[in-house]
Amino acid sequence: MAELFAIFYDQASGNFHQASFRLHNLYFESSALILTFVAIGKTLEAYSKGKTLKALKGLISLSPEIAYILADGKEVEVPVEQVKPGDIFVARPGSIIPVDGVITKGFGSIDESALTGESVPAEKQTGETVYAGKINLEGFLTCAAVQVGEDTSLSKIIRLVENASTQKAPISKMADRVSYIFVPTVIVISIFTAAIWLILGQSLYFSLSRAVSVLVISCPCALGLAAPVAVMTGSGAGARRGILFKTASALEEMGKALIIAFDKTGTLTVGHPALSDIITAPGVAEEDLVSYASSLEAGSEHPIAKAVSSFADAGNFAVKQIDNFKSFPGRGVTGEVGGSIISGGKLEFIKTVAFVPEDFILKLAPLLEDGKTPLYFALDSKFLGCLFVCDKIRESAGRAVEELKNLGIRPVMLTGDSFAAASFISRQTGICEFYAGLLPEEKEALIRKFQADGKTVMIGDGANDSPALARADIGVAMGGGTGIALDCAEVVLMKNDLLDVPATVRLSRAALKIIKENLFWAFFYNAVGIPLAAGVWFPIFGWVLHPAVGAAAMGLSSVCVVLNALRLNFFNPYDSSKDGRYIRTTRKREEKLTEVNMEKTILVQSVTCSHCTARIEKALRKLSEVVDVQATRDETTNIGTAKVVLSKAVSDALLKKAIEDQDYEVISIK
């Protein structure tokens, strides 16, 4: 302003040459450029936020405004906010489910792609759960409202995305602390710059120009944007793929994980049983066994019975009408067909009506060892055979575990299921380290133990996993899990696809890399720009930074930071082609684990009670090479399974002798 008045004075005095010279010290264009570049940076920042909020708005648009409830036998249209738990609402074909509920009548095909990413519609029938925001493609459904208003699954998801977009990551808080110190420091440098040049004999205009240049070129906003923009972009990129980060710290910390612990049932497996093996008695056709079994189990609501019925329906096996159906809790069921009695259930129950050959029972040992559940069947006094049911492993489990190993992460399985079942899942998925027969508090204790070795992630779906999820550095819940598990977790995998686990790690690492790049260039820019603006190089090279150039550089620094963060929108977290650099570390860890702990499985006959398993464990523990022993028994066959962990090689003969000294017969050692 002083320079402007000086120009007017020179013109009034007739000193036009001096007035023209002073025009070079006017910086109106600098102010315009500053505003222009700041506006560009803010526009790109808003665009980055918009990419995240677009996913949020898409979720909000899924919630309908009205619902149709049944009152006195009539359909009544009400605002969705007025639906109360227990109200009966209807969902016609093509309509959006208004609230979370349970189907009381009807059969429908539900499009869940908007929330889970699954392209194949889910078939729903009476007794199954439907969730707000999903579309009923076909079928007329009558449902009882369970979760309404802010408690619906859709509302919770919206809150998760909102929280992830607004919270700050730990590294972002560090940038804030630096910015808090940075601003007053730059002001001091600016004043000091003007004072030094005045002391050195420069004009007031030159000194003030250097001071203004320092203020203009310094860019605390680049530091402030470095982390938040990357966090918002990463959260939005995850949300679009069905990966929901509840907190910004979860996005940052997930990539630092060294250990990932999996629950078994509902996480590594689909969570409900399916028919896996059919073993017929001599002279019995497989079709006859399945037909009789499915006819009998059609009258039962037990999950295992449903597995048999589902298999028969899929294979178009003949299902006969059953009369006089009777259930014997804990033992089995019976029913009549064509004057004959069909019996099904545990081995002891079938033995009361039919003869079961001993060699047939021994033939089943390998399947029992895998933790599969047997169902024995007989027609009158004729033994028909056995069907095995087990929880199906998720198709992506093995590949997901392999990708985690390639990322340098140690996968572990924690389960409350039997040692045999856990061992089978371990072999199928490639998880070398597992712990079976755990209570919820024991899972939590193991997570604490793992945390001593590095940042630990827990992945689960049930209420029994909640203590471990809460204890872990990062808790990850499957989208189909219980409400408690979802509440305790910091990351939710909406698609229930285990390939999202390594994808989450890659996305987190990519976001953290971009945050570090942004912080580096923000610091580098200020470290180079401020000395240049202050005129440090003027005495040597004659370099003077024009404030307009400083304004451009300041604006471009913010633009570069935002553009770098926006690269996350194009990052493919499912690309595993660059994971190989971590393989060597993981392989060495597995080799060390294998060298230290060698396992053997021993099958023992006539193990009739828990005292027998205790005696077998005690006998094996006496061997100095034995690190750990877990002995279990199958109540239906009285076949015991002893899992032995050895510190070094031991002959089978020595193990066999230790058990046979206790008057038990060893069937096999593997």
263 is catalytic: yes
Q: Which of 111, 263, 465, 497 is catalytic?
A: 263
Q: Cβ contacts of residue 37 below 8 Å, gap of 6+?
A: 551, 552, 554, 555, 556, 558, 559
Sheet holding 626-634, edge to edge: 626-634, 639-646, 598-605, 665-669
Q: What whole-number distance in Å separates Cα of residue 312 and Cα of residue 299?
A: 14
Q: What whole-number distance in Å separates Cα of residue 42 and Cα of residue 34?
A: 12
CB 538 within 8 A of CB 203: no
CB 518 within 8 A of CB 227: yes
Q: What whole-number distance in Å separates Cα of residue 646 and Cα of residue 594?
A: 10
Beta bridge partners of 456: 259
Name the H helices within 496-579. Answer: 500-534, 538-541, 547-566
Q: Check the CA dihedral 71-74-78-84 and report its sign.
A: positive
Q: What are phi and psi of 607, to 5 degrees?
A: -95, 100
Beta bridge partners of 260: 411, 457
Q: What is the CA radius of gyration of the chain?
A: 35
Q: What whole-number distance in Å separates Cα of residue 542 and Cα of residue 562?
A: 33
Residue 228 in tokens: 């938040």
H or E segment to which residue 460 belongs = strand 456-460
Beta bridge partners of 273: 391
Q: What whole-number distance in Å separates Cα of residue 87 and Cα of residue 82?
A: 10
Q: Check the CA dihedral 26-31-33-34 and report its sign.
A: positive
Residue 609 gets which letter from DSSP?
S
Return the half-sphere exposure (C-beta side, CA atoms, 13 A cut-off) of residue 542.
0
Q: What whole-number distance in Å separates Cα of residue 341 and Cα of residue 379?
A: 6
Catalytic (active-site) positions:
263
